[in-house]
Amino acid sequence: MLDVSNLSVSVAGKTLLRDVSFSVGTGEMLCIVGESGAGKSTLLKGLMGMMPCRFDSFQHWPKGRSHRQGDAAVQGLPACRWVMQDPLAALNPKRSLGQSICESLYEQHLPAADQRKAALEALEAVDLSADFYDRLPKEVSLGQAQRACLARALIAEPALIIFDEPLSALDALVQKKIALRMDQLRREKTITYIVVTHDLGFAAAYADHVLLLQNGRMNTLQRRDDFFANPASPYANQLVNAAQTLGALDQMEAAR
Amino acid sequence: MILTGTKMRPPVKPSATLWALTVVVLVVIAAFLSTPYDPTKADFLNRLAPPSPQHWFGTDHLGRDIATRVLYGSVWSLGLSLCVVSIGAVIGTIVGLIAAQRGRWADMLLMRVTDSFFAFPELIAAVTIAGLFGPSTMNLVLALIVVSWMKFARLVRSLAVAVVQQDFVLQARLNGLPAHLVLWRHILPNVLPGVFVLWTNSWSRTILAISGLSFLGFGVQPPNAEWGAMLLDGKAYLHTAPHIMIFPGLAVLIAVLIINLTGDRLRDRLADEF
Amino acid sequence: MNAFLTRLGGLLAVLFGTSFITFAVTYFAPGDKALSIAQARYPGEMGFDSAVLDGIRAEFHLDRPFLSQYLHWLADFVTGDFGRSYSSQSKVWDIFTGNLAETFTLAFTALAMGLTAAFLLAGLSVWKQGSLLDRFAILLASVGAAIPSFWLSILLIMLFAAHLGWLPAYGTGRASHLVLPAVTLAFWVMSSQTRLLRSFLLEAYAQPFVETLRLRGVSEREIFFSHVLRHAMPPALTMIGLDLAGLIEGAVVVEIIFARSGLGSLLAGSVLARDLPVVVFLVMFFALTYVLINTLIDLLQIVMDPRQRAAARAEA
């Protein structure tokens, strides 16, 4: 559903990201992996129109919109939501979780009762009970806050959700649970995910495609099984081996 | 498996300070209603009388009951300072918000202007303005507003800049929220607690400034029952009737202490929230 | 280097703005300036010929538009020509220097006394935390912050001058004249600095490095004097600098109350007499002092606090 060719992001004359291409089908998950500083978050910002970028082609279904080469900024992907790394920074400490979730519906201008109903449904979808609606962010755990952020993304029934290291702030047990739920929701509702993560275990368990970035450039783009069985580049090989040594890929077996 | 929350919101208990404050306010109101004296009516038979059962604080050089005047003076001192600080807070908040949101040039320009005003010590500026334009209540208030808004501007700007960089503001913008709603729902609620703390601090400082300037003759003029003005009245009778000088000053001290203590409690309470 | 230039530019802009505001206030002050000048020049005269007034206006540029007057004044000011007082016709600079020493003595004495007291109180209070001494120090500081300084001076006058007769109440001249004003001001300095110092010292004590030092067997005394104190210095200095405005204000008020000669009384007197050249100069002096001292403190901070040094270097 998203087809990007040779995307580059430059700011103030410095090129942060060069010639990245990928495509991901409807309902699939693309994991963008790489070391810190490889440009993963920059790519997200470029896709969301927050940083100026250039590309050869940018094809986006089902809206069928395509942008001409050289458009300085993508006008934000429609029906797209973004889940960020730190849930406590992403939620207004002065507003309840329910209010934050409903904000996602702002552009639809629904009556309050409908908004509340949708929010409660979204909360249920992320395994939070109805009394979380009125809680403030400081009254819930990190994991619960991140689930609320996920609910905020889901409530808008987006075609695409972008995740920027959604699990790295959480502890291991919570990570597993939320990762599982994320994947289930994706399959249930047929949402496309683009997930930036440095956790190869997560990619191994849930991704359809893996895009590896290194130093602002695209290193490899492979389907998940290919990536972990036959890494296409020496660098990818190093990473996969390292992850295997650390036991991070055991999840792959567990999740299948 | 549905999760239920474990951390409940603690019930809000009115604290001891709040009770004490309520008591004080009630006592003051009761005093207002029960005093038999007119704060402005002179009684020449009873001039400079020391404290007695009829006149708890004694009388001043015109025979007016000091206790009543001190009471009415609270409206002057507290009310005026409240006006000054509130108007200053509003102006400063607006400037700070504009500086934080309208880009680098607006920010630099507004902050330089703010800094320019900052250079003038409060009292000196007030003395100058009130003195040059004629000492009066109005000029005093204007002068004090002119030198107090900057604190709020600086505070609001730094708070707002920090808030605007938070992810939740970005989320709101991505969700299509218009600028005024972003301001109202996200920026202001996170900026206002800090403003409130500064507001209470400034209030007590302004009371000291107003009474001090009135005492020096640059503010509220006698025969108004403002505490500083009352002290100015009594200055001539320092040796003969010292009681005149004691009570208005004591009133200032107590008022400022109460406001400071309450402000401290408030700050501690709010700090818990962050 | 770049960072330095930016700061310098900012400073100049602020000074510009300050001078503009000062001039604007005096420009819009009511009263015919030409008349004031004429009255001072020809004391005792009642009415003045319009020709005389026009002549004065031309001489002092009073007939020019606002901006032109401002620029003239600024040019004079920057080159050191501060004009002559309307009332006394003496050069403003001379009047200023005549009174400067008094104010400086007062401020310096009060600062020294107040800071010493503050350090003692804060230090003792932290040393014996939670004790009666601690509580007393905090109470004293709270009351001191709330007490109106003009009232305190009156009380002191009533006690020491009127009642006991130990010290003179008003005037300038002998050292005994300095005592009550300085004590009043010092009291204010002490109360505002004690609480701050105390909280800085407490914060320094809570730092992890203190525990490390203890484990290494360093004595409590050395921890306090060589480490905690040094850690608390930068924020303490900043606060002192920020409170400088308050010190100046306090000195002004105290001088007026005790009828001491000095810049404060000079300001009050010249304001009421609408002696604008003196007023303008004094206000500018206070403002410039404040700005310069704050800038110095900022720079000192950067030198003293290694973290800020790194930040400044990164900026450059």
Burial B47-72 (b: 16+ CB within 10 A, else e): ebbeeeeebebbbbbbbbbbbbbbbb
Partners for A (CB, 8 Å, 3+ pairs)? B
Higher pLDDT, C223 or B196: B196
Rounded Cα–Cα distance for residues B51 and B44 (Å): 16
Q: Does A133 touch chain B (CB under 8 A)?
A: no
pTM to 2 decimals?
Answer: 0.81
Distance between alpha carbon A130 and the CA centroid of its chain, in Å?
25
Q: Chain B residue with minimal CA distance to A83?
A: B171
Return phi, psi of residue C259, to 5°.
50, 40
Rounded Cα–Cα distance for residues C236 and C252 (Å): 24
SS3 state at A66: strand
CB-CB neighbors (< 8 A) of B175 in chain A: 103-104, 106-107
CB-CB neighbors (< 8 A) of B1 in chain A: 127
Quick check: A144 and B3 in contact, CB under 8 A?
yes
SS3 state at B214: helix
Q: Do chains B and A touch (3 or more CB pairs under 8 A)?
A: yes
Question: For chain A, how are helix, strand and coil distributed in percent, rounded to 5?
Answer: 40, 25, 35
Q: Is C174 exposed, middle or buried (0-12, 13-18, 19+ CB in 10 A)?
A: exposed
pLDDT at C309: 62
Rounded Cα–Cα distance for residues A193 and A206 (Å): 10
Say which of B116, B132, B249 has its CB closest to residue C154: B249
Rounded Cα–Cα distance for residues B148 and B43 (Å): 40
Quick check: A147 and A153 in contact, CB under 8 A?
no
Each residue's pLDDT tens digit, A126-164: 999 989 999 999 899 999 999 999 999 999 888 889 999
C-alpha distance from A73 to closest chain B C-alpha (Å):
14
Answer positive or negative: Cα dihedral of C206, C208, C210, C214.
positive
Model confidence at A73, pLDDT cuts 50, 70, 90, reads very low
Put simply, the answer to whether A129 touches B2 (Cβ < 8 Å) is yes
pLDDT at A69: 44
The residues on B that touch A, with CB distances below 8 Å, are 1-9, 166-168, 171-172, 174-177, 185-186, 189-190, 273-274
CB-CB neighbors (< 8 A) of B270 in chain A: none
Quick check: C316 and C297 in contact, CB under 8 A?
no
Q: Does A124 touch chain B (CB under 8 A)?
A: yes
Put simply, the answer to whether B128 touches C13 (Cβ < 8 Å) is no
Q: Which residue has the tokens 């009047």?
A: C95
pLDDT at B247: 85
Q: Kindly report whether the peptide bond that precedes residue C235 is cis, defined as omega within 30 degrees of 0.
A: no
Element (H, E) at A82: strand A80-83
Beta-carbon count within 10 A of C221 CB = 9
Q: Which of B207, B95, B225, B97 is nearest to B162 (CA)?
A: B97
Say which of B7, B174, B186 has its CB closest to residue A139: B7
* A96, amino acid identity: S
Residues in C 272-301 with any Cβ partner in B closer than 8 A: 272, 274, 279, 283, 286-288, 290-291
- The whole-number average pLDDT for the span C100-123 is 86
Kindly state the tokens that stand for B36: 């038999």
Say which of B1, B7, B189 has its CB closest to residue A94: B189
Higher pLDDT, B48 or A165: A165
The domain ranges of chain C are 2-78, 95-315
Q: Does B21 touch chain C (CB under 8 A)?
A: no
- The whole-number average pLDDT for the span C128-144 is 81
Annotate C168-237 with DSSP letters as a single string.
--S--SSHHHHHHHHHHHHHHHHHHHHHHHHHHHHHHHTSHHHHHHHHTT--HHHIIIIIIHHHHHHHHH
Residues in C 155-174 with any Cβ partner in B closer than 8 A: 155, 157-158, 162
CATH of C95-315, one of 2.120.10.30, 1.20.1630.10, 3.40.50.150, 1.10.3720.10: 1.10.3720.10
Each residue's pLDDT tens digit, B3-20: 555 555 555 555 666 777
Average pLDDT, chain C: 81
Put simply, the answer to whether B231 touches C154 (Cβ < 8 Å) is yes
Each residue's pLDDT tens digit, A176-212: 899 999 999 999 998 889 999 888 888 888 999 999 9
Put simply, the answer to whether A107 touches B174 (Cβ < 8 Å) is no
Q: Do chains C and A touch (3 or more CB pairs under 8 A)?
A: no
Interface size between B and C, measured as CB pairs under 8 A: 131
C-alpha distance from C269 to closest chain B C-alpha (Å):
9
Q: For testing the chain B interface, which of C14, C22, C196, C198 should be mutated: the one with the most B CBs within 10 Å?
A: C14
- The whole-number average pLDDT for the span C205-219 is 81
Rounded Cα–Cα distance for residues C215 and B140 (Å): 58
Put simply, the answer to whether B216 touches C246 (Cβ < 8 Å) is no
Quick check: B152 and B93 in contact, CB under 8 A?
yes
Q: Does C26 touch chain B (CB under 8 A)?
A: yes
- The whole-number average pLDDT for the span C78-92 is 81
Put simply, the answer to whether A106 touches B175 (Cβ < 8 Å) is yes
Range with lowest mean pLDDT among A89-98, B21-30, C177-186: B21-30
Put simply, the answer to whether A135 touches B168 (Cβ < 8 Å) is no
Partners for C (CB, 8 Å, 3+ pairs)? B
pLDDT at A67 over 60: no
pLDDT at A251 over 80: no
C-alpha distance from A187 to closest chain B C-alpha (Å):
18
C-alpha distance from C30 to closest chain B C-alpha (Å):
6
Each residue's pLDDT tens digit, B204-257: 889 999 998 888 888 888 778 888 888 888 887 877 777 888 888 888 998 898
Each residue's pLDDT tens digit, C293-302: 877 777 776 6
Q: Which of A49, A85, A62 is nearest to A175 (CA)?
A: A85
